[in-house]
Amino acid sequence: MHREAVAEVLLTRWTRRRTGDFWMCAQLPRSHAFYQSEQGRADPLLVLETIRQAGLLVAHTGWGIPLDHRFVMRGMSFAVDSSALRVRDRPVEIQLLVRTRDPRVRPGHTSTLAVEVELYRDGDRFGQGSGSLGALPPAVYARLRPPRVPRQPVRERPEPVPPWLVGRHDARDVLLTSVNKSNRWGLLVDATHQGLFDHPVDHVPGMVVFAAMSQAVRAVVGPGYLASCQARTSRFVELDRPAEVSVLRTAGGLYWTAIEQDGVRAATAVWRVETGSGHSGPVS
């Protein structure tokens, strides 16, 4: 799962079916160092993280990609019926039916594959998701990126936006800082945050990128539940250079987000938000 802490591993068991598909079980924690429940429902980003881990498991066990390869997430999505993720008197346990799509596995070279996922709870399907990834051998990754962990510049940490604005309780969990622009914020990353950085990396992890964009949506929409997301990444987001997060509200009631660094777009995502009434769309 490319995690150091056992507590960060969400998948609990798996089996490969005769059809070649995978059946997996996962448990979403009731408490976490970063992810938190929303309106009595499990954090939707935990669903995204579960799909990420499922893709890695399939790559290693289904296609024999070595454990020393470095993975790059190129796209992820999920869409759920949020009522199925309500937190009860026990942790949320879900099941995943995972199918592989477009595998291009080449030993010693960069490999790519995608997964399509059906999501179940207590036998009832409540959503679906997908993920596409690239797997790079150590030598290829070393040529692409120098094998070092860059240090963040020594400077005073920028002031985060108020935690309530992005639905957080702790200022350390806030990933946005004000840049005095409409619907645009600076990306605020703390590489010592153990809930976001399970181990040292040389770039901003994809899940942190997605979390920052989700907080930007919350800052615009207000209280609501992220019921779906379609995200793409096109380049690494560096730890030691400033980046900006922006949001646009579309005519269809969706929210388009982007992260830019050095004037170049690095990631985008489209979100659907359920308001307190259970309907999607903007809050008046």
187, 212 Cβ separation under 8 angstroms: yes
Residue 37, C-beta contacts closer than 8 angstroms, at least 6 positions apart: 30, 43, 87
Angle between helices 44-57 and 206-221 (to 10 degrees): 160
Segments making up each domain of the chain, as ranges: 6-144, 163-274
The CATH class of the 163-274 domain is: alpha beta
Average pLDDT on 269-278 reads 81
Instruction: Report the distance separating Cα 144 and Cα 106, nearest Å.
Output: 18
| DSSP string for 215-260 | HHHHHHH-S-EEEEEEEEE-SPPPTTS-EEEEEEE-TTS-EEEEEE
For the ranges 29-38, 77-86, 141-150, the maximum mean pLDDT occurs at 77-86
Residue 58 has phi, psi (to 5 degrees) of -65, -40
Residue 255, C-beta contacts closer than 8 angstroms, at least 6 positions apart: 217, 220, 221, 247, 248, 249, 270, 271, 272, 273
Average pLDDT on 198-217 reads 92
Give per-residue pLDDT as tens, 12-46: 999 999 888 999 999 998 888 888 888 889 999 99
281, with CB counted inside 10 A (0-12, 13-18, 19+), is: middle
Residue 158 has a pLDDT of 86
Q: How confident is the model at residue 81 (pLDDT cuts 50, 70, 90)?
A: very high
Q: 163-274: same fold as 6-144?
A: yes
CATH 3.40.50.1820 fits 6-144, yes or no: no
Question: What does the angle CA 172 – CA 36 – CA 70 come to, to the nearest 5 degrees?
Answer: 75
Looking at every residue in the chain, the average pLDDT score rounds to 89
Nearest CA to 63 out of 25, 125, 114 is that of 114
